[in-house]
Structure 1
Amino acid sequence: MKPARHQLTHCRRCQAPIIWCLTSANGRRQPVNFEPDDTGNVAVSNGADGVLYVRTVTAARPDIKPGEWQAMPHHATCKLPPPRRSGGGGQRTTSGVRPSPWQR
């Protein structure tokens, strides 16, 4: 099964065709490549409300059920991914440090 054309949009960075889905775990939006992919690690299904839902294919639930199709998350294949956020590994500056020890 394949997503409908009206669900198609394009990545803002690389202009690849994608669809937006809601994760079944926490309801967050996740971009998924438009074309089904047998090497993908997510399963996409069309909900009764017309919304696309995505779940991760895991060892506990490895099978693709009827009505689902296997796809690849777009973050894994984007040709122009956003820059990585730093973990704050640089020098930290302190501000608002108390000039004297705490008084009881």
Structure 2
Amino acid sequence: MKPSTAHITICRRCSARICWALTTANGKRQPVDAEPSAKGNLAVMQGPDGVLYVRSITAARPDTRPGEWQAMPHHATCISPPPRRSSSGQRTRAGVRPAPQRWQP
């Protein structure tokens, strides 16, 4: 099964076709490749409310259920590098600021 065209959008970094799905574990949004993949480690299904839901394929539940399709997380297949972030979140100083002169009479 494939996702409907209403769920498909384009990745801003690599222009690939993706779908946004809610994780069943914590309800966070996760980008998933729109094309089904036999190598994927996610099972995606459309819920009765029309929203896509995604769960991990694990050793405990290795097979997909009826109505699910196997997909790859888009973070694993995106060809564009992730945005760079500073390690501490603070700006580094580019130079030394001169101290004000103090005149003494």
TM-score (norm 2): 0.79
TM-score (norm 1): 0.80
SS at match of 1:79: coil
Q: What's the counterpart of residue 35 of structure 2? A: 35
Change (3 A) 1:85 1:60: farther
Q: Post-superposition shift, 1:83?
A: 3.4
SS at match of 2:12: coil
- Percent identity for Structure 1 against Structure 2: 67
Give the residue type in structure 1 aligned to 2:32.
Answer: V
CA RMSD of aligned residues (A): 1.3
Q: Please tell me whether Structure 1 or Structure 2 has the larger radius of gyration of its CA atoms.
A: 2
After the TM superposition, list the runs of 4 or more consecutive aligned residues in structure 1 that deviate by more than 4 angstroms: 84-88
- 5+ residue gaps in structure 1? 89-104
SS at match of 1:30: strand
C-alpha distance in 2, partners of 1:55/1:84? 28
C-alpha distance in 1, partners of 2:81/2:71? 18
Give the residue type in structure 1 aligned to 2:38.
Answer: D
Give the residue type in structure 2 aligned to 1:78.
Answer: C
Post-superposition Cα deviations, 1:8-29, rounded to whole Å, max 9, x if no partner, equal: 1000100000000000000000
Q: What's the counterpart of residue 92 of structure 1? A: none
Correspondences of 1:24-103 after superposition (within 5 Å) = 24-83=24-83, 85=85
Q: What's the counterpart of residue 99 of structure 2? A: none
Q: Post-superposition shift, 1:6?
A: 1.1
Change (3 A) 1:82 1:61: same
